[in-house]
Structure 1
Amino acid sequence: MTLLKKLSVATYSTLFVAMSAASMQSHAVEVSGDVTFVSDYAFRGISQTDEAAALQGGLTLSDESGIYLSVWGSSVDFGGTGTLELDVMLGWSGDIAEGWSADVGIMRYGYPNTEFEGSNFWELYGSVAYKDFSLGLAYSDDYYGNTGNYYYVYAGYSLALTDNLAVDFHVGQNEYSDDSSLSYLDYGVTVSTEVLGLGLSLAYIDTDVKDLYLADSRVVFGVSKSF
């Protein structure tokens, strides 16, 4: 059994309590969330909904220390083998130096009604940001579909055009150590704004994967409401 697989749900919950108990005794816990509709759920450049729309939502508990616990879900469509993704994240984010910030944690990707082996997996993640630039790394020792060791290295840049309009650029390398033929590059650009309290986004997403329609270039529209 791999290291990440040994982290059971009970261990996950115990770890969160141990890390956050002291902080939450003196700091108020904040609750935030969002509900989102997207015209296509593209994860690392590949559609998870057979190019159809998706309804998504998330809830986060956090305190002033930077520790957070998040639950996030989305509708998916894997050709009749699953309709729901439900993820749990435990992490810390905050400033580490002037102009610098970081975000580190562990995440479990879950597909409650997916029947094939290897659909659920763990991933460690971390990123650093300097002003508008970010660089991150995610790692799983047994990635989706039992594909083994997997690394995701990515970079981003956010450009504020106005107080209410931004453009975000993203590029990421999906690296499968156990089968390099599966490795691929994904990239995209997203324009976002806010109108009447709703977040609006328009993204162009693409990969270098050949002969797979789920990884073709696509334009994705999204509308969200935060609370």
Structure 2
Amino acid sequence: MKTSTKMKTLVSSMFLLGLSVSSFTASAIELGGDITITSDYAFRGISQTEEAPALQGGLSLTDESGFYLSVWGSNVDFLAEGTLELDVLLGWSGSINEDWSTDVGIMRYGYPNTEIDGSNFWEVYGSLSYKDLTFGLAYSDDYYANSGDFFYIYANYSYALMDNLSLDLHVGQNEYDDSSASYLDWSVGVSTEVLGAGLSLAYVDTDIDGSYLADSRVIFSISKSF
């Protein structure tokens, strides 16, 4: 079976599974969301907005069993080739025990008004967390712009410096089918909460040379969940 066929089969299976679970636990479904204003939308270390600010927001339907269906959007700027990103996620997250938790699912990245061939793509993802340490993996059989197989391997760690102030560390390896395009991204930041709003300040960088969209920068974000 071709990889693309396997991906379509997995998408269909997870979608039907999510609908089945939700139909039996409709009374336990909760709706939540968030809105964020950020000085730059950096995705895996690369600016999606020409280093300009972004307004982002999402909505999630969550079942008490751990299944969720989410939509998320942000403005983007691909040199007049697109101004909107709209993503859909279907997954499951939950605790394994007191210290361990996991999150698995499938995601569709969509760019409704982008004319770049292959701009819309699917990705499966999974992560395993031990307390404040998370290891994750994402895979696409045909990544953005028809670039073929892609793996994203990452680790996140959040360390409480004091009450209501955390040090946030991230490192991720972007592995393309064409190994010459592969790169490393990382960030170091701090985050806190003030009057119910989340505030974060992060230094973001990659090992890509010669691209202003992937060079080092400091990004400030403010978010609110509801």
Aligned mate of 2:23, from 17, 21, 24:
21
CA distance in 2, matches of 1:131, 1:11: 30
Contact 2:15 2:90 in 1 (8 A): no
What's the CA shift for 1:73? 0.2
1:9: how far off?
8.7
Alpha-carbon distance between aligned partners in 2 of 1:195 and 1:7, rounded to the nearest angstrom:
44
Cα distance change, pair 124–168 in 1 and its aligned pair in 2 (3 A): same
TM-score after normalising by structure 1: 0.93
Q: Which residue number in structure 1 is paired with residue 192 of structure 2?
A: 193
1:26-175 equivalences under 5 Å are 28-175=28-175
Gap regions ≥5 residues in structure 1: none
Q: Secondary structure at the match of 2:146?
A: coil
Find the aligned partners of 1:128 and 1:8 in 2 and give their Cα distance: 20
CA contact (8 A) 1:4 1:141 kept: no
Question: For each residue in 1:161-204, what CA deviation from the matched residue of structure 2 results, as whole angstroms up to 9, or x when unmatched?
Answer: 2221111100000001x200110000001211111121111011
Asked if the contact 2:11/2:106 (under 8 Å) is kept, the reply is: no
CA distance in 2, matches of 1:76, 1:113: 11
**Pair 1:104–1:10, CA change in 2 (3 A):** closer
Q: Distance in 2 between matches of 1:144 and 1:81?
A: 14
One-letter amino acid of the counterpart of residue 44, structure 1: R
Q: For 1:15 and 1:142, locate their aligned partners in 2 and report how far apart those are by CA, in whole Å.
A: 24
Change (3 A) 1:5 1:113: farther
Match status 1:182 vs 2:186: no
Deviates further, 2-11 or 83-92:
2-11
1:154 Cα offset (Å): 0.3
CA distance in 1, matches of 2:46, 2:182: 13
**2:100 is matched by which residue type in structure 1?**
W
- Specify the code of the residue in structure 2 equivalent to 1:225: K
2:2 counterpart of 1:3? no
Q: 1:15 to 1:115 in 2, by over 3 A?
A: farther
Q: Does residue 212 of structure 1 match 2:208?
A: no
Residues 137/211 of structure 1: CA separation in 2 closer, same or farther (3 Å cut): same
Greater mean deviation of Cα atoms: 144-153 or 91-100: 91-100
The number of residue pairs the alignment matches comes to 224
Percent of aligned pairs with the same residue?
A: 67
CA 1:110–1:206 in 2, change beyond 3 Å: closer, same or farther?
same
CA distance, structure 1, for counterparts of residue 10 and residue 138 of structure 2: 20
Unpaired segments ≥5 residues, structure 2: none
Does the Cα contact within 8 Å between 2:109 and 2:120 map onto a contact in 1? Answer: yes
Q: Alignment partner of 1:79: what SS?
A: coil
